Amino acid sequence: MPSARVKRRRPRTRRISRRRRARQARFARFFQDAASAGVVVLTAMIGVAALLVHFARDLPSTDGLWAADAAPRITLLDIHGAPIAAHGLSRGLPVRLSDLPPHAAGAVLAVEDRNFRHHLGFNPLSLARATWVNVEAGEVRQGGSTITQQLAKNLFLAPDRTMKRKIQELLLALWLEIEFSKDEILTLYLNRVYFGAGAYGIDAASRRYFGKPARELEVGESAVLAGLLKAPSRLSPMRDPEGAGRRAGAVIDAMESAGFLTALEAARARRKPVRLAAARHAPAPYFVDRLLQDARALAGDVDADLIVQTSFDPAMQRALEDGLIAGIGAAALPQSAQAALVILDAEGAVRAMIGGRDYAESQFNRATQALRQPGSAFKPFVYLAALETGMSPAETVWDGPIAIGRWRPANYGGRYFGEVTLTEALAHSLNAATIRVQERVGRSAVRIAARAMGLPADTRGPALALGVDAVAPIDLAGAYVPLVNGGFRARVHSIDSISTMEGDVVWRRDPALGEAAASFSSIERLNRMLQAVVDSGTGAAAAIAGVKVAGKTGTTQDSRDAWFAGHAGGLVCVVWVGRDDDAPMPGVTGGTAPAIIWRESMRRALASRGPNAPAVSVVAPVLR
């Protein structure tokens, strides 16, 4: 029996020994794994620290954070030295958080950063959620940025979306949270954020949209402004009142949900209509945009308030605007068709400009940015080349079906006139005759003549004569300027000088004209031919009683573009009509709507100069 008990105890001893060894092995593996993990964590911490140091090395300076914006103010003066009522971006008076009604800040916090008072500059949950959404979508759809991060980005960083910029944004947000109180950060944000329509800061936005300072904002008005931050242009109440109203309603809902409004206050705000201030009409908005763009480019990096003397003539601008309205009415132009007009004087100075039918609807300046084929408005350069090579306006050319290789261009309407003079060919805009003139003098001669006048002409084929090289209306007008100044190429310009408020000249235009573009005799004969276009040809609708008018119609294939370019009384005016989508305009030719608009505009422009204005203006060239 005793021996049996001994046999039972031995296995138990062996089992205890095995358990102890297994436990010791597990402890050993644990300490080994912990040591390895510690090395990994330490290495990661060192890597993160090095990464942060790398991105922090070139963080932008935070000096002058509270200083007022130092961007130079640009004051534009018209041709008479009077200020133009548009000076680019506007910034309201700096406001303190305590000056604003509580709902003004509450509206912004409710939709932009509800947990602003509780985070340390960034919200990990929001960042994680935004990252997940963006990964799922395969594109950036959510930002996850707090107000502090937005402020850091707006104040110090470029708008590009890179990992480096995002990390720097987080570092700067942490710095802001350490250095400033929540109220100070929110104050900075409200004074610097962009609300659309050129308004930076809540006070500027309140004055722009509601005609009142920010301290007088009501709940609905605060909701409209807070709603703009998501998409300042698309949600602008000036552009889309209904969309802005729906967005404001969503903001009020968010304010109630977040506790910034009681249910009763929210209900009152929803019922009370928001009234917008009357829109302040900036004269010639397309022209002003161009002037500001040119002024900034010419002034360079000058850090000072600037006075810009321009060529803008308010009387001619009114004439152009009234003429466009009258011409559209007389021509019954379709609502979908756009228009661009520009007036230049004999020195190439832009006196008036319209870049579209409605600036509020589209800020795209078709007078300077739209590149369209000029069609037959290019033909004067073909005949100028012919005159320069010795041909006469009375010389004849055959107008009949023509084929050059596989190309068989036809006259408008398919009509041909047989033997015609150069004057008749231009007056009736005969394609076949014009191409024969071009082929006789040579395409290179036509290109040289057009370029000498200031117009690009790159086409090598026979279609060159029909105006297939796209140009902007302002460039075509510039190429017609030598027709009124005796044949000298002029630099198209809209600014004469730029100086600081203290009177220091920053930039001044050289008044010299360019080199001679063509001989005086050729210019004189071409002008007589262009007068025939209006007197007895396709441009009859552009005639002005008692005024010598010289010009040319232009119509491209399927009436996608229609032009009238011409001059009278020393002023060049170009009118373009077309659709932005390049769709055809059935029944519209250069001799219809553009010619009528040109007549109505130029009749008023010439009258605006008074009865003593010369009928023809030829300037004495100032050569280099």
- Residues marked active site are found at 112, 376
DSSP string, 314-375: HHHHHHHHHHHHHHHHHHT--TT-EEEEEEE-TT-BEEEEE--S-TTT----TTTT--B--G
Single out the residue of 266, 277, 301, 275 nearest to residue 70, CA to CA.
301
What is the Cα–Cα distance from 581 to 588, expressed in whole angstroms?
Answer: 16
What is the Cα–Cα distance from 443 to 235, expressed in whole angstroms?
Answer: 52
Residues 6+ away with beta carbon under 8 Å from 98 = none
User: CA angle 399-400-405, nearest 5°?
Assistant: 115
Contact between 566 and 387 under an 8 Å Cβ cutoff? The reply is no
Beta bridge partners of 399: 418
Residues 6+ away with beta carbon under 8 Å from 543 = 534, 535, 549, 599
Single out the residue of 129, 118, 128, 184 nearest to residue 151, CA to CA.
184
Would you state the structure tokens that stand for residue 191, as one six-digit string? 């004074």
What is the Cα–Cα distance from 52 to 170, expressed in whole angstroms?
Answer: 10
Contact between 316 and 605 under an 8 Å Cβ cutoff? The reply is yes
Neighbouring C-beta atoms of residue 77, cutoff 10 Å = 16
What is the Cα–Cα distance from 455 to 470, expressed in whole angstroms?
Answer: 10
Check the CA dihedral 415-419-424-429 and report its sign: positive
- Burial label, 622 (beta-carbon count in 10 A; 0-12, 13-18, 19+): exposed
Residues 6+ away with beta carbon under 8 Å from 544 = 568, 599, 602, 603, 606
What is the Cα–Cα distance from 266 to 259, expressed in whole angstroms?
Answer: 10
Would you state the structure tokens that stand for residue 298, as one six-digit string? 């010419």
Would you state the structure tokens that stand for residue 223, as one six-digit string? 């909701």
Neighbouring C-beta atoms of residue 277, cutoff 10 Å = 13
What is the Cα–Cα distance from 424 to 419, expressed in whole angstroms?
Answer: 10
Would you state the structure tokens that stand for residue 167, as one six-digit string? 């990390």
Dihedral-angle region of residue 333 (phi above 0 means left; psi in -120 to 50 means alpha; beta otherwise): beta
Check the CA dihedral 610-614-620-621 and report its sign: positive
Contact between 605 and 573 under an 8 Å Cβ cutoff? The reply is yes
**Residues across the chain:** 624
Q: What are phi and psi of 500, to 5 degrees?
A: -85, 170
